[in-house]
Structure formats: C-alpha cells, structure tokens
Amino acid sequence: MQWRRLHNLRLSSKKCRQRKSQKNENSRDPIAGVFRIGDCAANTAANDNFRNRSETVNLNCISAVLTPCFSAGHNVGLLGQPGVGKTEFVRSFVATLRASQIRPELAEPGDDDKPVRFISVATTTKEAVDVSGCPAIQDGVTVWNPPAWVPRGNEAAVVFLDEFPQADIPTQLAFQKLIDRDLDGCDVSPRAVFVIAGNRIEDNAGANEIPQHLRNRFSWFTVECDAAQWCEWAQSHGVPQIVVEFIRSRPEMLNRFDAASDALSYATPRSVTRFGGKLGGMTNESVIDALAAADCGAEWAAEFRQFRQLYAQMPDIDVVLQNPTTHPLPSDLGILLAFSSSLVAAAKADKSRSKAVVTVIDRMFDAGAQEVAAKTMRDVVASDPAIFASAEGVKLFAKIGPMMRV
C-alpha cells in the first residue's frame, strides 16, 4: 500500500503549503488592498453560526424541501442528533421518486417509469484514495479508476454520504472533487444529487468541522424528531401497537437523547423501533423489561412497564364502538389517553364508524374529561373532516368547539 501512503503524503504536503500561504495572506497589510481573512474568534463565530442557524425541520416536512432541491439538482445537508431517522427517511423518500423528477430538463424517454438509484456511502470507512480511485499505468501514463458506485452518464441518482461530518478532512475534500464532478477518469452524471447526513458538533458523536467552502455547496437543514409523524410511520411498518400507543400518549419518550450523558442505552426513534421489532407477541414481563432497558434505557423501560399495566385495563375499542352509548368508559387519565389514541386510529381506519366515535367523545366530555375529549375530536377531524357536516358532529362542536379554539 505504498502508493496509498504517498497519496496521503501529497495531500498532507499540499495542506501544509495552503496553510502557510493562508498565514502569509493574513499577515499582509490590509491597506495594500488585501483583505484580512480574520482571527480565530471570527472563525469560531462562523462555525457557531453554521451549527445553530441552519433551517430546522422535522421529518414530516423534509419531503417538501427535498423535492425542489432534487428537481433543481441541488445538494442537501442534513444534520441532527443520533438516531433521529435521517438515513431511513431519505432512503424511503428516494424510493418514491422517478428518474424524471431529478433535473427534469435532462430526462430521457422512459424516465417516468424508472426508479432513482439510491447510493449509500459510509464516509467514515473511506480514505481520500477510496474516492479518487486506484491508480493504474496505461501506455506509460498514470490513470485513475474511480469506484464502481459513482453514477455515470445521465443516470438519475441520489448519493447519500452518511456520517460525513465524522469523516476526516482529507476524505471530505476528496469527496468535494466528486461533488464538483471533477473526478479523474470519470464523467460523473449531471443528474447525481449529493446528500450529506451526520451529527452536530454538540452531539458529542465525533463530528469534525466541515470546511467553509464545502458547506457552501449544500442547502442545510437541521432535523428534529416528531412523535406524531413517527407514530404514523410506525403503524405502517409493523411496530407493535402498544409501542405506538405508548409514544402517542407520552410523545416525550420517543427521544431521550442527551449529549452530556454517558448512558449506553437511550430512546431515539431508531432505538424505539428496534425494541418494537423484538417485542412481537412476547408475554414474559421480565424479558420485556430487560429488552426495553437494553435498547432505550432503564427509565424508559420503567415508564413502558407502567403503561403496559394501564393498557391492559383499556377496553377493547371494537366492543366499545359496537355499543357506543352504553359501554363503560375508562376514568383513569393514563388509560383515557391511550383510549383516545385508539379512538383516533379506529376513525382513521374505518370512516363508517365516525358516528360511533363522535358519540363516545361526547360521553367523555359529559363525564368530565373535557380536555381529552377536545384533543380526541381535534385529531379525529384531522383524519375525517366530513365529521363537521354530520348531525352528531355539529351537536358536539357546539359544546367542544370553544375548547378546541384555545
């Protein structure tokens, strides 16, 4: 691997020359027409500005900002805490795209039916030469053989550069040549869109500063958790209903990340989903507690155990909706909140049961659970606006409407 060491040595030498040159530029007299680049304090302020002022979005609206970026062929940077779901979301979103949606002015016949290739690159496992490719001698001249995954020709592709801030600076700069389509020995597709994803400096996840000139090649967004969006996704991806209902009733339990903590296990969308995948039809309470603590932490496991006890006392939602005027309703607030989530899910799954759902909400209101009834009605209407026009809905809104407007 002597050629690899020589290549890295060339990069290091070049960086030293650049730093020396920059130092000389900084020391020149500004009156002579050369602008002073700035001191350490100014550079630190610029880094803080980059970390703290990128646009903040949650996952349920990222698709709205990715669509125009991909259409224009612009690169995107996504920053966020570990486990928030950046990788899985982009992968799922790209699976919904057609090739004609990436720079449509360059689309070819048949692109409306052609998928967009998703290329995930673990940047922390790469060195600079892994991006530029291996050298070879052809006719006495050194040529480079870029990686096979690089999109060529007019291919529509999204290149996902995972954990990019954690990669060392020479590797980041090597990827810059790929992003600029200046890779030796390869014509990089003009319809390749690059997405950087990684953690922030303050997350204590080993992130490095990204050079200023490289940042300027991307549109930056900071990604946050959204419990309601995760619950919707989880229901369609096989996460056990009891886990979904737990997060619905305790949304703060979806994300317990603390950059200052030394805990091995803590709750994030990723770890909660992983725990749900183990749960299945398991009934051994001790094993469930151990698995919950292993994935999401001891505090989370204790809260989930308490919720399971309440959930076991919740009446069967199907039986309640078959007898909406007479079936006993829960009175405990914890059980009532879980019951509320089940009502909303039932209304969304089968709109023919909306009348029965409204009747139950009306009874909840009359029984003294006005705030829970108002929340339930708001969520039900969001999934079935036609309830506004029903006779039962009009009657209930006369009572509950003022609370919903607060």
Give burial (CB, 10 Å; 0-12/13-18/19+) of 13. exposed
| Residue, of 60 and 337, whose pLDDT is higher | 337
Which of 29-33, 84-88, 217-221 is the least confident region?
A: 29-33
Give burial (CB, 10 Å; 0-12/13-18/19+) of 76. buried
pLDDT for the residue numbered 40: 33
Tens digits of per-residue pLDDT, 277-318?
Answer: 999 888 899 999 999 999 999 999 999 999 998 888 888 888
Q: How confident is the model at residue 26 (pLDDT cuts 50, 70, 90)?
A: very low
pLDDT for the residue numbered 62: 79
Tens digits of per-residue pLDDT, 369-401?
Answer: 888 888 888 888 877 787 777 787 888 888 777
What's at 270, amino acid-wise?
R
The string of DSSP codes covering 266-330 is ---HHHHHHHHHHHTT---HHHHHHHHHHHH-HHHHHHHHHHHHHHTTSPPHHHHHHSTTTS---
Q: How confident is the model at residue 59 (pLDDT cuts 50, 70, 90)?
A: low
pLDDT for the residue numbered 37: 25
pLDDT for the residue numbered 385: 80
Mean pLDDT of the chain, nearest integer: 83
Contact 59, 89 (CB under 8 A): yes
pLDDT for the residue numbered 232: 82
pLDDT for the residue numbered 15: 45
Supply the angle between the helices 241-249 and 333-349 in degrees, to the nearest 10: 120
Question: What value does the mean pLDDT take over residues 168-190?
Answer: 91
Q: What are phi and psi of 121, to 5 degrees?
A: -120, 120
Structure tokens at 399: 């009572």
pLDDT for the residue numbered 350: 84
Question: What value does the mean pLDDT take over residues 46-58?
Answer: 54
Rounded percentage of the chain residues whose pLDDT exceeds 70: 84
Question: What value does the mean pLDDT take over residues 175-184?
Answer: 90
Give per-residue burial for 339-351: e unless 16+ CB within 10 Å, then b.
bbbbbbbbbbeee
| Residue, of 120 and 358, whose pLDDT is higher | 120
Whose CA is closest to 175, among 119, 120, 128? 128
Tens digits of per-residue pLDDT, 112-150?
Answer: 999 999 999 999 999 988 888 888 898 999 888 888 999
Residue 27 has pLDDT above 70, yes or no: no
Strand order through the sheet with 55-58: 55-58, 219-224, 76-79, 192-198, 157-162, 117-122
Structure tokens at 170: 């020479």
As a whole number of angstroms, the distance between CA 302 and CA 61 comes to: 32
Question: What value does the mean pLDDT take over residues 187-212?
Answer: 93
Structure tokens at 307: 């919720």
| Residue, of 209 and 58, whose pLDDT is higher | 209
| Residue, of 229 and 44, whose pLDDT is higher | 229
pLDDT for the residue numbered 390: 79
Question: What value does the mean pLDDT take over residues 149-170?
Answer: 95
Tens digits of per-residue pLDDT, 311-345?
Answer: 888 888 889 999 999 999 988 887 888 888 888 88
The string of DSSP codes covering 198-227 is E--GGGTS-PPPPPHHHHTTSEEEEEE--H
| Residue, of 395 and 171, whose pLDDT is higher | 171
Residue 194 has pLDDT above 90, yes or no: yes
How far is C-alpha 107 from the chain's CA centre? Answer: 28
Q: How confident is the model at residue 402 (pLDDT cuts 50, 70, 90)?
A: confident
Residue 147: strand, helix, or coil = coil
Which run of H or E residues covers position 56?
A: strand 55-58
